[in-house]
A and B are shown apart, each in its own frame.
Chain A
Amino acid sequence: QKEVEQDPGPLSVPEGAIVSLNCTYSNSAFQYFMWYRQYSRKGPELLMYTYSSGNKEDGRFTAQVDKSSKYISLFIRDSQPSDSATYLCAMTEGGAQKLVFGQGTRLTINP
């Protein structure tokens, strides 16, 4: 079993829909959780960063962490075609050197 599981998709939704992306993990020591967005032919860019359980909101994006269930989510409201990308979750016990990535979910927002 991988430490971090993420459905690779692809996921295709109409513009304006609410998108939910998820990851599960097995290591209960993970404390820092991130979402990266990767456009085609580009490097991953940090989108959201959260510590421990709870929600964090940034514009149309909400990151949610449920440590009891070992489950993290990224919600995108009012999705736009420009949100079309691969979204990778990442997490660590502490320290960027120990960052573990999910496989990434390929998302397409259709106009």
Chain B
Amino acid sequence: DTAVSQTPKYLVTQMGNDKSIKCEQNLGHDTMYWYKQDSKKFLKIMFSYNNKELIINETVPNRFSPKSPDKAHLNLHINSLELGDSAVYFCASSVASGNTIYFGEGSWLTVV
């Protein structure tokens, strides 16, 4: 069983479109994250949710909106996609009191 799973793995879309990436974890963790990895492999945190509550919201355009229907799911919706949004988006999870996080396989987003 995959611990942190996200879909879709690959997404190619046109500028201006709206798209969503879904994430689910079966580790029983109470904290979930969205990270963005750019072409230079830098991993940057975007959002963090703890028990469905937004904890961290880094400087991310308003076009990005996370939604957590329950503590096992954290989805990412992106409006009006731009070329610069092309990146790999990783979902991750952890226990609130822990120091390590566990990543999903990533979603490769290409905006054309």
Binding site for B on A (CB under 8 A): 8, 32, 34, 36, 38, 41-46, 49, 86, 88, 92, 94-97, 99, 101, 103-104, 106
Contacts and interface: CB of A to CB of B under 8 A. Distances in A.
A55 B48 CA distance: 31
Contacts of A8: 40-41
B42 A97 contact: no
B43 interface: yes
Interface string B73-111: 000000000000000001010110111111111101000
Contacts of A42: 105-106
Nearest to B40: A103
A33 to B, nearest CB: 9
A97 B106 contact: no
Nearest to B90: A43
Contact of A104 (B41, B95, B101): B41
A88 B45 CA distance: 15
Contacts, number: 62
Contacts of B99: 32, 34, 49, 92, 94-96, 99
A45 B43 CA distance: 13
Q: How large is the interface on B (under 10, 10 to 19, 20 to 34, 35 or more residues)?
A: 20 to 34
B54 to A, nearest CB: 12
B41 A96 contact: no
Contacts of B55: 97
B9 to A, nearest CB: 9
A49 B42 contact: no
A8 B48 CA distance: 27
A44 B101 CA distance: 10
A97 B56 contact: yes
